[in-house]
Amino acid sequence: MSFYITTPIYYVNSEPHHGHAYTTIAADVVARHHRQRGEDVFFLTGTDEHGTKIAQAAEERGLTPQQHVDVMAPKYRALAAAVGASNDFFIRTTDPEHEAFVQAFVEKLRAAGDIEKRTYGGLYCTACEGFWYERDLTPEGLCPQHGIKPVWLEEENYYFLLSRYQDRLAAFFKADPGFVKPRSRYNEALSFIEQGLEDISISRSSITWGIPVPWDQEQVIYVWVDALINYLSALTYARPDEDLSARYWPAFHFLAKDILKFHAVIWPALLMSAGYDLPTGELIHGYLLVGGEKMSKTRGNTLDPFAVIEDMGAEPLRYYLMREVTLGQDGDVSLEGLRARYNNELANELGNLLSRTVSMIGKYRDGVIPQAGPEGDGLATVASEGERMVATATAQYGELNVTGALDSIWEYVRRLNRLVEEEAPWKLAKDEAQAGRLDAVLNGLASGLRLVALAVYPVVPLTAVEILSRLGQDVGDADLLLDTASWSALVPAPVVLGPPLFPRLETEG
């Protein structure tokens, strides 16, 4: 079974920020989960490099657009690497292979009879790279998303006859109410379709920074059409001499609500016209807010994910964002919140559990995980709870409820910490008659921690691998598969002592 997952390709008009990191991390978690299910996964991210917004940014910096994108795109590639993304390819819309594919794609729209030349005037917001109706602007006449004044733009352009797809889109939505998640976003997209779709301009004559319309060199292809097609074009050249389209298409898309219409309405219609299968689904997540406001380059209230990662690594950031903000809802994030969850949940609860387990095995069993022997009632329950935790978390990841999966996992981490308190291995160790019980408890803690590592792997992959290594377990790809997640699959191996997984952060003085 194959699974293809994408993030939006990010505009390179300014620096990457936490909002981009968030989508990439969320998609990475889901990609890793599907790999753990043994599926053949392809995960794509990249950069959107054409259009007015990029051309303007370049001009402000005194660079050509090409120079500008060549400086900026590597920063987005570096962000994906810094957050630990396991993307299989990084696409840039200035790749010549993408450009050629986009031209061939719009030729298909034209061959389908869905392109016409017309004159249109409207209020255009450069930050959105889209037109607004006057009635949708703020009372001050500003773009409701960016708070800036749209400008009147009138041009003769090529139009895609989106209106023709209204009924087919509505029928498609009704046949698959799970196409867009969460349900509120599905309803929003469907009601947008049902209100009536207008044809959309898919070329620009006023700018030159874009892919030329193949049959009219005076026009360039509208940046949104250019951008959406990346999800298809990437598969044709991500691997040399290999077309991955048949293996992976259609995709599952991750994005935030700002670009819902483009993905849930325009993109499916373009695909229908050009004769492709539609995406398998779309997850629309909310915004990360800072002090209640959307983080955005245009608004200028960004946080620097690179600084956080340099300070404490990517894993605490991944954990915090996935734990704090439910996919689909907005959520306020802060450095204080991150530090609090780091100390309480990562350092105290998970990190300490591992240190105690490994050091007790070191002290009482010469550093080798003992065989379980007869378990006794208490541990049989801990074992079945552990396997149930993995099954529950797996189902939750499958429903894109990552926050829920982390809740289930942490409930079990706490259960294991209670086991240490209840059994007090340091007391058992003093009584030779309790040797079997001590074996069972130490083996149980290691078995339970192994299940925790497998379950938490998609969110904090390096931590998971480190836990398994300290427990002396193998950590190849096959060892991370979910079907190895049974209690008794622990190998009674020598443990490895090491520094704390998450050294406590000093509380800010």
Q: How far apart are CA 321 and CA 337, in angstroms?
A: 10
Q: Which of 57, 202, 225, 295 binds ligand MSP (CB under 6 A)?
A: 295
Check if the beta carbon of residue 90 is closer than 8 Å to that of residue 45.
Answer: yes
To the nearest whole angstrom, how small is the minimum distance from the Cβ of residue 418 to ligand MSP?
36
Q: Rule CB under 6 A: is residue 256 a binding residue for ligand MSP?
A: yes
**20, 50, 68, 263: which is the annotated catalytic residue?**
20
To the nearest whole angstrom, how small is the minimum distance from the Cβ of residue 112 to ligand MSP?
21
Q: Which of 9, 30, 321, 471 binds ligand MSP (CB under 6 A)?
A: 9
Q: Rule CB under 6 A: is residue 8 a binding residue for ligand MSP?
A: yes
**68, 98, 125, 263: which is the annotated catalytic residue?**
125
> What is the separation of C-alpha 47 from the centre of its chain, rounded to a whole number of angstroms?
15
DSSP designation for 147: -
Q: Which of 3, 4, 22, 457 binds ligand MSP (CB under 6 A)?
A: 22
Q: Which residue has the tokens 């997640």?
A: 485
Q: Residue 120 pairs with which residues in a beta bridge? A: 155
Longest dimension (CA), the chain: 91
Q: Which of 258, 385, 407, 479 binds ligand MSP (CB under 6 A)?
A: 258
Q: Rule CB under 6 A: is residue 259 a binding residue for ligand MSP?
A: yes
Buried b (16+ CB within 10 A) or exposed e, 370-397: bebeebeeebeebbebbeebbebbbebb
DSSP string, 170-221: HHHHHH-TTSEESHHHHHHHHHHHHT-PPPEE-EESS--SSPEETTEEEEEE
3-class SS of residue 129: coil
Q: Rule CB under 6 A: is residue 23 a binding residue for ligand MSP?
A: yes
Q: Rule CB under 6 A: is residue 296 a binding residue for ligand MSP?
A: yes
Please, which residue, 14 or 484, has the CB nearer to ligand MSP? 14
To the nearest whole angstrom, how small is the minimum distance from the Cβ of residue 479 to ligand MSP?
32
What lies within 8 Å, CB to CB, of 391 at 6+ separation is: none
Pick the piece of the chain touching ligand MSP (CB under 6 A) from 81-89, 250-258, 442-450, 481-489: 250-258
Please, which residue, 297 or 437, has the CB nearer to ligand MSP? 297
Which among 349, 494, 360, 348 has a CA at the least distance from the CA of 426?
Answer: 360
Please, which residue, 180 or 441, has the CB nearer to ligand MSP? 180
3-class SS of residue 451: helix
Can you list the positions of beta strands (E) in 341-444?
none
Residues 205-234, one symbol each (x = binds ligand MSP by CB under 6 A, - = not), give: ----------------------xx-x----
Residues 48-77 that bind ligand MSP (CB under 6 A): 48
Contact positions vs ligand MSP (CB under 6 A): 8-11, 19-20, 22-23, 48, 227-228, 230, 255-256, 258-259, 287-288, 294-296
Active-site annotation, residues: 17, 20, 125, 128, 143, 146, 294, 297
